[in-house]
Structure 1
Amino acid sequence: MSFKKETPLSNAVFWAARKGNLALLQLLLNSGRVDADCRDSFGTTALMVASYSGHYECVKELIMQGADINYQKETGSTALFFASQQGHNDVVKLLFEFGASTEFQTKNGGTALTVASQYGHSKVVETLLKNGANVHDQLYDGATPLFLAAQEGHVTVIRQLLSTGAKVNQFREDGTAALWMAAQMGHSEVVRVLLLRGADRDADRDGSTALFKAALKGHNSVIEELLKFSPSVGLLKNGSTALHAAVMSGNLRTVLLLLEANADPTVPNKNNELPANLTKNDRILKMLHPIILIGDS
């Protein structure tokens, strides 16, 4: 967290809040010469700094001295946002005791719940949901708490969100689904949980499916999970097959997994190229050519 101090006294208040020096903080606030809501040029308050740093007693002192709990800095962030971002659940609970709201958004649409989900703070997520946080919050690009948790591989948070009504097939504005993103990132356990909760195995972004992206990246554990749900191994909207992607990845295990799932090596892509045309790897070619010859015969 960056901030600019405006006066020597406010500088000292911010330092005390950041370091958790309760005695100094009390001395400064009780002097009557500095306000509990002193701010820097970006609107950062001492309460935000203490919340970000996780100093429970300093947060409580600032609140008791009249600090505005729901004040938003220039970016739209609040003390609750910062405490949630850093996973300080005790501070989050304290802020709620004194009237913190979950409804405030940052300039990109972020909320305490989206940021806690993104960073995988499951205890904070639980506290936020119990105190009215909206599981359907979205960043301005359409990313939900579930999407952000899936992107980062936070399985516990994903289960929490799904059990609270998160939509497993909610798309981001660019058409990306949580399953697609988790597959691309190689989060196999997340992929499994999402599939079990009804994620569309063949949902695509720009014509490529979760299987295609996993094959292109060589994420074999993800591919194994996806194949349990019989995804399409045929020609996709992007003009290629997952087998084309697997061959381009150069991963022998990936190619083998798809061949065992009956991916057809004789299907050309939109450029009339077979999977075998996309590699010079002798081991992969040996895996593909016998099958092609059998098909030709």
Structure 2
Amino acid sequence: MIRPPLSTLALLSLLALGAHQAYGQADMLPMSRVAGALTIPLPAGKSTLVGLPNVKIVSSGTVGGVAGDVLTLASSPSVLGDVEAAPHAIKIVSRANQSGTNAYGISALITDQAGQDVTADLSVEPNVGDQYVIYQLSTIATLFGAANETGLTGVADPALSDKIYLTNAGELVAYFYNGTAWKLVSDPTGADQGGVVIQPGSGVLVVRIAGSDLSIYLSGDALPARHVAAVAAGHNIVNNPFMVSTSLSASDIQSNITGGTGPGVSDIVYLENEGVMTGYYYKTGGPGGIGWRALGDSVTDAGSAMIAPAKAILFKEQAGTAGFALPEPFAD
């Protein structure tokens, strides 16, 4: 369990102590789109896993053609607007061929556009007839402000500044505001990092070391369909795009990650609540029984632990084939 306040080194050291193929059960069509707003507290001296459940959906429709990474879209509005100048992603929200391969729940960054044709490196090729949405992605600057309008503590020395962490190939990469621009902690005099994109399916870890309690405000559409995250061996900050709470057991994550007889041979799911981060794994047998367990307690059932709206999930992939899926509550 991570109890605040902790240094960045202590946070990452603890995560290293914790010890796959992930697809949701999802054959059903997603729930209808809803909109909403959330205020996410960023308390001083604590670590917060920030999910991004609210987005700006700019287009929806069906996939009319597939040629490798190039998708031809039948869109609403009928003429697809510019989705290349600012970062956007496409998400497949249903599947036309339920007996075959499908990309249901997968998102990918749009890297090129020619009219109704978009290029996106989806990890699984979609089928003609699949439904999609296109939504705008956040950057460090659009989420926290180009001039740090959120108010995170930021000075030239990263050791004295609040940190934000993004995921890159299983590693947690730290950024800070130096008083004039966003920088990499590993390169505090380097280029401005405000334009770094928070990749599709990812969330943010905010580590506050000083200052007053803060918050960020999110509004927009809720992303439909199950959530399939691109993860790698190591630590991954996975977005939770859903605006309703669910428990670990009800979420059915246990069907989509690798469990084991102990934490050393299982994937670990970290949930954060009021700055306290607790790791869980799914126990598949041995002394103490079967079910969700918190790290350090192999006996007590922890399936009632809640995944809250606007809270990302810190996922340690260390067993089986890299993968993670979160079925849509009440739909999948």
- TM-score normalised by the shorter chain: which range applies? under 0.3
Q: TM-score, structure 1 length as denominator? A: 0.25
Asked which structure has the greater RCO (Cα within 8 Å, sep 6+), the reply is: 2
> Which of the pair is proportionally richer in strand?
2
Structure exhibiting the larger radius of gyration computed from Cα positions: 1
